[in-house]
Amino acid sequence: MVDMSATLLHHGHIRLLKKAAEIGDVVVALTVDEEVRRTKGYEPELSFDERKEILESIKYVKEVVPSPWLLTEAFMDEHHCDLLVHGADNSNKIPKERLVIFPRTEGISSSVLRERVLDCLMQMNLADKPGSASEKVARFLIESIKKEFRLE
């Protein structure tokens, strides 16, 4: 089992799924929208159904099941999974003998993708107007968004 919210899917997720598939069949425990809102404090960019459809199309994934933010052994047992595979940021309270931890992919996360999108939007809309009042307003808005999404 691999648990993730995958609000924005990236190559770090794919690498983790590939490594998990080398161990056995991969069941993705996908965090439901309500849990993302409650835990992360915002609406996921992609809905649960959209994220599920994307994950189901990945060759390393056998099945996708809805999940809470934190998994238990009982949840793993319910889905007939022996191991939980996770990146180094794991916070699930699973016994070490049932846990496989892989290092995170350096330089990428959903938060990093959000920042890149903001930077791209600013470049697209303000490239010809450096130092203008609208650029200052845009920078203020971007900083506010970064704080709201905890991107700092």
Residue-by-residue pLDDT tens, the chain, 152 positions: 999 999 989 899 999 999 999 999 999 999 999 999 999 888 999 999 999 999 999 999 999 999 999 999 999 999 999 999 999 889 999 999 999 999 887 887 777 887 887 777 777 666 556 666 666 777 777 777 777 766 65
With CA atoms as reference, report the closest residue to 90 among 109, 71, 115: 71
* pLDDT for 142: 76
How does DSSP assign 4-43, residue by residue?
E--SS--HHHHHHHHHHHHHS--EEEEEPHHHHHHHHSS-
Tell me how far apart the alpha carbons of residues 73 and 94 are, in angstroms, rounded to a whole number. Answer: 6
Pick from 52, 74, 69: nearest CA to 61: 52
Q: Give the model's pLDDT for residue 59.
A: 98
- Name every residue whose Cβ is closer than 8 Å to that of residue 68 and which is 6 or more positions away in sequence: 31, 32, 35, 75
- The pLDDT value given to residue 25: 98
pTM (2 d.p.): 0.79
pLDDT of residue 71: 98
The conformational region for residue 150 under phi > 0 = left, psi -120 to 50 = alpha, else beta, is left
- The span from the CA of 87 to the CA of 91, in Å, is 10
Chain-centroid distance, C-alpha 26: 17
